[in-house]
Chains A and B, each alone.
Chain A
Amino acid sequence: MDQNSDIAAVPLLAANGVSKSFGHVQALDSVNIAVHAGEIVALLGENGAGKSTFIKILAGVYAPDAGELLVDGRPVRFGSPAEALNAGVATVYQDLALVEQRDVASNLFLGREFTKGIFVDRRRMYKEAEIAVESLDFHIPSVRTTVDLLSGGQRQAVAISRAVAMGGRIVILDEPTAALGVRESAAVLEMINNLREQGRGVILISHNLQHVLPLADRIFVLHRGRPAGVVTSEEATAEIVVRLIMGDTSV
């Protein structure tokens, strides 16, 4: 069976002509993106270009003013983050959205706890959490450790693992390496690469071209809320990408 061509035909997640204004600020003007299974798509742009706003629309945090979202080729409308999650779109936010006072297991299954009736099935939760954490390059001492005791990289790893644990077929990551050192960044990038290998679709936001260029299959660039260009990994050189980011239309 030729899986690749089949999957490649229909994007897991696509957005067409999405616009969004906050009062007088037009944060997004008719932007598009598409991500297929087993693909890493980077979303680049200067500060304030609209990247976070765009992915919050994909995640169901904001409703777009115009444009449509498609999951598996079918139009969808996310009324809340929970609806996006149910459709398989899991987001690792810039602020990670972890409850620091709670332990790793509680965070991995936040809002989706395993239950027996109205009670939490603790045994199952901790067992599943062990399994989720075991495969990580980050040594997490115990799934009973509270998140506030973890390092930045460990927290990022927990947030990404949660996106997977919540069944994200499409995983969106907003600046996952921004606050990390060299070693921890490398391990997080390895995790992101694994997501692709598992056949998930990944949307990656980063300001660090050294992190993005080796990893991304395609690069979408935003400039002041408008689409500034799409380049494939073969075409992408740092110079071209930087010029697109700066709004140079001659490339």
Chain B
Amino acid sequence: MDHGLVVALVAAFVFFSVASPFFLSTRNFLIIGQSVSVIGILAAALTIGLIAGVLDLSVGSTIGVVSVVAALLAEAGASVVVVVGAAVSVGLAVGGLNTFLIVKLGIDSIIATLATASVFFGTGLILAQGKTIYAADEYLGSFVSARPLGIPTPVILLALTYVAGYVLLAKAKLGWHIYATGGNRSAADRSGIPTKRILAFVLLLSALAATVGGLILAGRTLSGSGLYGRFLNIDALTAVLLGGIGLSGGRGKIEQTLVGVLFIGILANGLTLLNTPSFYQAVVRGFAFLLAIMLDAHRRRSMER
């Protein structure tokens, strides 16, 4: 665990608690949880991918396509089953295409998903003809805004994602094989670990995480747009790198990512409470990303001794 980030998290927490009377409240924490839910789910998937040795940059534009598909179908009067089924099919198709390029053809994951990200982004825009589609399935909308036990559904989904991610990585044999694949793929192969299947699993997982993210956004905004999710890639990756997962594979824990996600959420929330204009927040976001990659580079250098 990276203590630097935990210290930063506590510092931000204390600072905003003092600076804003609204910060320290259950209501505000639920707002923070809700605001990071989509980023958090994506960051969990990116974490698992990076540990396995692949970086999926297409999750952001997948969110856009999924939200558009969900909105268009709702507009056409399709039932909730069709809306969700179509969204999941889009996710599976996205994951399948990424798997084909990365696992079957052996293309580097960053290059492959940079290309597919652009394709999905364009597809979302074309499907919606460049507009925002204002339509949403009724059930999807009420599911996303529901608050069982007072907790918003997206926050519950976020928590479930991290519990499942923890169990997978730390406890399951599949998780250990994910670490081995990302750590030394040819060694894993020669030990009889089915690395191709593991990479396919991880890529499908991140496409499905993006699908869930797209449905949450569609249900929350009651609309769909190819532009949704544009910055979510970089926000999620910032959280992952701040958490210290690193780009080299085979290392890291999902708990670290959660700390990174909470840090970003608290930072954004605190800045909003202090009435920081949103264009400053974009710069802060950029600096947070820079800080994250600098931390990662620093860790790598100190690891090489």
Residues of A within 8 A of B (CB): 59, 61, 80-82, 85, 91, 93, 95-102, 106, 110-113, 115, 118-120, 148
Contacts and interface: CB of A to CB of B under 8 A. Distances in A.
A102 to B, nearest CB: 6
B171 A100 contact: no
Contacts of B179: 99, 101-102, 106
13 contacts: A80-B192, A81-B191, A82-B191, A82-B192, A97-B186, A99-B250, A101-B250, A102-B180, A106-B176, A110-B188, A111-B191, A115-B173, A120-B176
Contacts of B193: 110-111
Nearest to A81: B190
A111 B192 contact: yes
Given A99-B250, A106-B180, A120 B172 contact: yes
B173 A113 contact: yes
Contact of B190 (A61, A106, A113): A61
A166 to B, nearest CB: 8
A115 B176 CA distance: 11
Contacts of B250: 99-102
A100 B188 CA distance: 12
A44 B183 CA distance: 32
Interface of B: 171-177, 179-180, 183-184, 186-193, 249-251, 303
A99 B173 contact: no
Main secondary structure of the interface of A (DSSP, over half): loop
A60 to B, nearest CB: 9
Nearest to A98: B187
Given A80-B192, A82-B192, A111-B193, A97 B173 contact: no
B263 to A, nearest CB: 24
Contact of A110 (B175, B191, B249, B251): B191
Contacts of A101: 179, 183, 249-251
Contact of B189 (A81, A100, A120): A81
Contact of B188 (A91, A93, A96, A111): A111
8 nearest A-B residue pairs (beta carbon): A82-B192, A111-B191, A97-B187, A99-B183, A101-B250, A110-B191, A101-B183, A111-B192
Candidate in B186, B188, B192, B250 with the most chain A CB atoms within 10 angstroms: B192
Contact of B173 (A80, A96, A120, A148): A120
A63 B147 CA distance: 59
A97 B176 CA distance: 16
Contact of B180 (A85, A99, A118): A99
Nearest to B186: A97
Nearest to A125: B176
B302 to A, nearest CB: 13
B190 A93 contact: yes
B167 to A, nearest CB: 8
Given A101-B179, A113-B176, A120 B171 contact: yes
